[in-house]
Structure formats: structure tokens, C-alpha cells
A and B are shown apart, each in its own frame.
Chain A
Amino acid sequence: MIDHESLRIGVYVCHCGSNIAGALDVEELTRFAEGLPGVALSRHYKYMCSDPGQELVKRDIVEHRLNRIVVAACSPNLHEPTFRRAAEDAGLNRFLVQMCNIREQVAWVTEDKADALTKAEAHLAGAVRRVAGHEPLQRQFVRIVPRALVVGGGIAGIQAALTLADAGHKVVLVEREPSIGGHMAMFDKTFPTLDCAACILTPKMTSVKLHPNIKLLTYSTVESVEGSVGNYRVKIRRKPRYIDEDLCVGCMQCIDGCVFTQAKFSNAFDQGLGLRKPVYLPFPQAVPPVPVVDPEVCLQIARGKCKQSCVEACGERNAFKFDQQEEIEEYNVGAIIVATGFKAFDPSVIEYYGYGKYPNVYTSLEVERLLNAGGPTGGKLVLRDGSTPKRVGIVHCVGSRDANYHPYCSRVCCMYALKLAHLVREKTGAEVTNCYIDIRTPGKGFEEFYNRVQNEGVQFIRGKVADITPAAGNGDSPHLPERPSGCLAQMGTVPFSGGLVMQVDDTLLGSIRKVEVDMVILAVALEAQADAGDVRRTFGISCSTEGFFLEKHPKLAPVNTANDGVMVAGACQGAKDIPDTVAQADAAAAKAMVLIDSGQIELEPNTAWVDEEMCSGCKTCISLCPYQAITPDEERKIAVIDQALCKGCGTCVAACPSGAAKQHLFGDEQVNEELEGLMNYV
């Protein structure tokens, strides 16, 4: 029960400069507060969150013996901790403070000053009535599990895992593909320095494998995440490779020994341009260097009938395990870094670019594989018929900056298109024509690289390509029957080898141009992974409108998320290049360390509890709790809530038919008081 006699509430109305004071009459609001029940003192001040503002509260608590504080200012998500700490400094229990949101929810969203004042008065009366019902509470802490989970083994995940591990922290790194490396491992060179991607990436991949602090789980996905910040229980689904990772030494004899003497299945890592056997290594530098068996095409697994020459080749290593099953492993972690990367836009949906229809229209990622010395052609850029292109067109902004697909700029395409232009010229001497909307090169050494490529004789046409069609007299067989699987195997057999015409509106020249080329490279957009929605749910974070994961604050908390223990890094948060990805991965690792090194974390104070006198043991609440925090005490015929498991949603409190289930800070008393305050005064 509220002891109204002894209430001495202090109300503080913040101007927030002109943010609040410019939108409503703060003096009038202060006067209004004086008339509310239990208010001993009401003040307004320019910046309540400043040191002098906080000092004001502290002094008043002591001098005026205030026993409750209401601060009418910004959202509690911003400065509630500030004023709780100030109250505590002055000897008042930190939970006797209530924030009243008159900035985000009133000043910034209300046109009319009088309306704003009325709404602010209602909110303030609600806060004053509510705080009267607050009770002093003890702060509760739990230990943080000193281990981090990194999800995604691209450059972002690799970097984050290594940074954490080098600092002495235990890391579990999960990658769904058979090898770590991600998109970066597919690239040939990286802009603007033209470092070979493999040369700078593979040492890091090997470090991950060898690091004593890193547990690497490839070919695995995160099945579920339970618990909360500081203490997550993670279930990881491990797909069978059919080869024991511990027994395999990576000699690759099994691949040579496979009954399939020829590689005949499409290799996804090569974008379907290369072929592999049923037992394969996605690429030569794969980590771990353990082959994987494709159960759909392996004769032994698919049909149960094969002479198993691979097993013979493996010999006494005995690494083959055809009976391997999916396994679920469980780990406890304190912090999670989500670094699940991006997906390259599929341009086949843009019909007029003819991708999938004209064989010599490639995506940038396919060309990366062709240019890569470890790729399907050993680094030779060739057309489908095996010949070398003499004229190459590069189309910018495919799927980016296009209201029909993605309105955003993918940030990296201009630079990778310039890089590809350079590499194509270097390797083939072909004439290269770039068709762009704008060239965007904001980065260290980027503009210089653009100048360099221009000086190398690459052509630039400012205009969006409207159409790609076969060149005249070349209409025989423009259709590619089976794509993408095994395209390269058909090289030399595909009859179509003629030119293509890019039609582009040259906005500098002011006329339509037709450029004949042998090969078109589509600089495709970076988009959110197809399953970003599922991943988001698993980790309890949000997506922005474009499907990329949402950071807590775009400027001031760029790697944190709404879920306190989950950080994001790399292109899963938004399209970005390798330098930015690495920087963000290190930032995410640092944030994970902040959490883990603090050793403990404060629990939500608003847990539910049961008044034993009032509980009838009806068990209504028990099935409502998703955390199994409520258990029946059969002897006393009551329900008992485990304070360490309760997350404080209050659903059981809302459902309790006798009012025995109660909640700290969000109890019936507080909410009902706030309702009366909201409704009864203005």
C-alpha cells in the first residue's frame, strides 16, 4: 500500500535545450506538477542530464528529503540509468526514480504546442502517480559465461574470432559451408591495392584452425539460442561430412581415388562454373582441409552400392564414416557476434540484361572465379566457347539504386567493377567499357585507383544500360539450355559465340549508344541473405527495411543490437567492403570483450514473484512461462517463481486469477496508478 503521508516526490522537467522547451511550455508543465499528489518540489532545467542537472537532483534529495524522483525528459532507454545512478549517489534507492518521456513521445512528434502540453501533462501525472507505488529493490547480478559465439566464417567472422581469441577469450566459430573463407575466398584480387585475396585471407583461415582458443565448427548451423545476455545456451546442428575431421589428414587421395574418374557435378563455390566429384574440397585453400561427401550424388550413400575406392585410397587413416549422422552440440556462451554476410543479387530477374539467357552475360562473382588462379579455368578469362573475349562490357548498379530491386547503393560495386576492368585488361588486353550511373569511390586510395584505371584506357560511359541483345547476324542459338550446372563443361560445344550489344543512354553525350562486346559483366548488388529473417529470429535481433540486420544506433552503437549480448559485423549489417568489414568485426569483438570482461551483468529488476498467502495453486501461470521459471510446489500447493530464470515479461502476472502473481516495477499497483495518472488530471 502507498503511504501517501510520507511521499515527497521531486519532479524535474528538462528543456533539452530547445528540443522540449521549443515544443511545449515547460514552465507551465512544472507548475502543473506542483499540484499533483505527493509532489514536494517541481523544477525545470535546461539540461537535466548534464552534471549540474544531476547535481540539482542529488542536492534536493538530501536537502528536501525527497523520497521519489520523476524526470520528465527523454526516453528511459537513454537516461534512466543516469538518473538512477544520481539518486543512488544521493542515498536514494535507484528504483525510486521514474522517467517520463516527453521528448521522443511528445515534443518531437506533436505539431501543436497546446496539444503537446496536454499530452506531456498526462504522461507526467502518470509518472508521478506511478512512482508513488515504487518500492526499493535490490540489484541482482549474474556471472557472464566467458566464451563468445561467432556466427559466420567469412572475413568478418574470422577477424572477430581471431581478435577475441588473441585476447585470450574462448570462441566458438560456426560456419554453414564446409570451409571458412566466405565471399572473400572467392575473389581474385582486392581493391584498391590489388592484394591477392587468398594471400591475405588464407593465413588468417589457418590461424583460426590452429588457434587453441577457437573451436571451429564448419558445415554447421545455429539451431537455437536460449537464455539471455551473458548466458546463452546455443544448440548447433552439425551436418555430416561423412569424413571424420579428426582422422583426415587432408591428403586428398580419396578425391583421386573416387570411382568417378571425371568431375561432373557443379561446384557451388565456383558459382556453378566448375565441376567437382561426389567427394570434394570446395577450393584448394579450404579450412579445414577436409573433403566433404555430397550425399545426393555419392553412390555409396545415395544407392548403397559402390566399390568404395575412396575408402581404399584413404587406407589406414580410416577417415570415411558413411554412417555419420547429423549431430546437435550445445555450448554456453556469454556473447554472440552475428557475421553472416551477404548474398549476391541474382540478375536473372532483370530480363532485359539477359542473364541466364545469353551465355556470355556473367555476374561479377562468376568473373571473380574465372579470374582466380584457383578457379575453374585456372585464372583464364574465357567465353563459353573457350575463346578469349576481345571486348568486355561492365554494367554497374545491377539491382542497386533501382526502385524495382534495391533502392540503396551497394557501396562496393563501383570499386570492384573498376578492379575487374583492370584485371580483364591485364589478363586479356580486351577493350573494356564501363556503363555507370555515377562512379562512387569514397575510400582511402579509391579515387586514385579510379584515375589509374582510366589511364589504363578503360572506357567509361555515363548511362544506365537499357538492354542487352545479341549482335546482328547472331541470332542462331542464343539460348543456353542448361544453366548453371556444368556450364564450363559445355565450353567449346555451345554453338553461340557471337557478340552482344549493350544499348545505353549516354547522358553526357545526350544520345543512345550501342556498344558491341563479346562478354558482359553485371556488377550485381549485395543483398541480405535469403534466410536473414530466420537468423534474425534465432538471435532475437531486428532487420531494417532492406533486410540487413539492424544496429542499436546507426552512429553511436553501430555493432550492438537491441539484444544486449548480440553484436553484428560485416555485410550482414549492410553492404560494405573488406576494410570496413574488418574494422567492424574488430569493433564487435571489442564489444563482446566489454561484456565478457565485466564478469557479471545486472539482471532485469522487474521479475515476477508469488504472494504465497494468495496463491491457490491453480497452475494457470505455469504453462504461460516460456522460460520454465514457474514450478508448482505440490506440498504447499502454490506456484514458485525462480528469480534467476524469470525475464520479467509479466504475462503470468496478467493471467493470475487471484492476483497472487506480482511483479517488481510493473505490478498492478504501479500500472493502475499510472493509468489513473494518465487519465484523471487532464
Chain B
Amino acid sequence: MSEPFKPKIVAFLCNWCSYTASDLAGTARIKYSPYARIIRVMCSGRVDPAFVLKAFGLGADGVLIAGCHPGDCHYIEQNYKTIRRHAMLRYFLERMGIEADRLRLVWASAAEGQYLAESIDRFVADVQKLGPLNWSENWRENGDRERALEEIVAEHAETMEVPV
């Protein structure tokens, strides 16, 4: 039997809801997967897409972003921006040859310690199914890379096009 795959996952938790939920999970002694490494941000809206890319660049097998439920943001509406960035990032990751499912967005209120723990467990299990990031290997040299780059360049040109 080979050693089970222990993924490295970066979890960005917003200070007001999800980080507090993780504290609650602790206080309630709810056991969950140890593979998510937690980083506190004030708001899920602070999660710069560059942070997510950097996490993958550093070899993270998955990135979790957790924030307050829509409508409950401590900063009124900033998690809506997270929703858009999440969609944008999934699209972008796919193009870069990283499975979009390696990025997940969840909402966990300060009262949902149990739910956050379960969400982390579920995400870890899903990432384990995907296997290690192993980007260069997983992204087969079958032309994917070229095609992706071409598409990105084409789209960029399209958006930058100045109407005559």
C-alpha cells in the first residue's frame, strides 16, 4: 500500500465569519482534515487573484476561499466581488491547465463551525481525488499549452480592440 496522498491546501478565511467559524470548530473540538493551512484575511474581498495564483505557484494542490454568506458581509457587499473573482479565476485556471475544481469558494458564518469543518473535509477529499497538482505533468504536452496561450492572446486582442 502506498502512502495516502496528503494534499497541501491553502485556505483563505475572512476574519469576521469564516475565521471565527474555524475558532468555533476548535472550541467545539470538531475534528477535521489537517491538510488545509489557514491564512486570515480581513475579508474574502481581499483575496487578490494573484494570491491564489501564487499559492498554486508555490505548489498548493487546492485553494479554498471562505467568507460570510452573501448579504452578510461585514463590509456590506465585498463578498460579491469575491464571487466574481472566483468565477474569473476558475476560467483562468482552466486555461492555464489547472483543474478549476482545485479552487473552491464556500460561505461559512461565524456560527457555522461544523459546516466549515465539513466543507474543508469535503474539499480535501475532492482534491485527493484530483491527485497532486503536478502542474507540468498534468498539463500534457499535447498542444494544450499552445492552444490556451493562443486563446488568451486572441481574447486579449479582442478586448483591447479600439473601434474604428
Contact = CB atoms under 8 A, between A and B. Distances in A.
B41 A666 contact: yes
A648 interface: yes
A107 B29 CA distance: 9
A566 interface: no
B51 interface: yes
A115 B34 contact: yes
A504 to B, nearest CB: 36
Nearest to A112: B34
Contact of A543 (B32, B59, B111): B111
Interface stretch (B16-24, B93-101, B143-151): B16-24
B8 interface: yes
Interface in A646-676: 647-651, 653-655, 663, 666, 668, 671-672, 674-676
A672 B55 CA distance: 9
Contacts of B32: 109
Interface stretch (B71-79, B134-142, B156-164): B71-79
Contacts, number: 138
Contacts of A105: 22-23, 26, 38
Interface in A33-49: none
Chain A interface mostly: helix
Interface residues of A, number: 53
A467 interface: no
Contacts of A562: 16, 20, 110
Given A651-B45, A672-B54, A545 B117 contact: no
A560 to B, nearest CB: 13
B39 A647 contact: no
A110 interface: yes
Nearest to B25: A109
A101 B75 contact: no
A77 B39 contact: no
Contacts of B38: 101, 105, 123
Nearest to A78: B23
A395 interface: no
A626 B72 contact: no
A196 interface: no
Interface in A78-124: 101, 103-112, 115-116, 118-119, 122-123
A650 B50 CA distance: 14
A647 B110 CA distance: 19
Contacts of B29: 108-109
Contacts of A340: none
A150 B26 CA distance: 34
Interface string B19-60: 110110111011110110111111101111111001100111
Given A109-B31, A626-B78, A649-B46, A123 B37 contact: yes
Contact of A678 (B37, B74, B111): B37
Nearest to A656: B48
A679 B55 contact: yes
B10 interface: yes
In order of increasing CB-CB distance, the 9 nearest A-B pairs are A104-B26, A650-B46, A651-B45, A649-B75, A649-B43, A679-B58, A654-B48, A115-B34, A626-B76
5 contacts: A77-B23, A105-B22, A624-B78, A666-B41, A679-B8
Given A122-B37, A651-B43, A679-B8, 10 more contacts: A75-B26, A108-B27, A119-B34, A126-B37, A654-B46, A654-B49, A654-B81, A666-B41, A668-B50, A675-B58
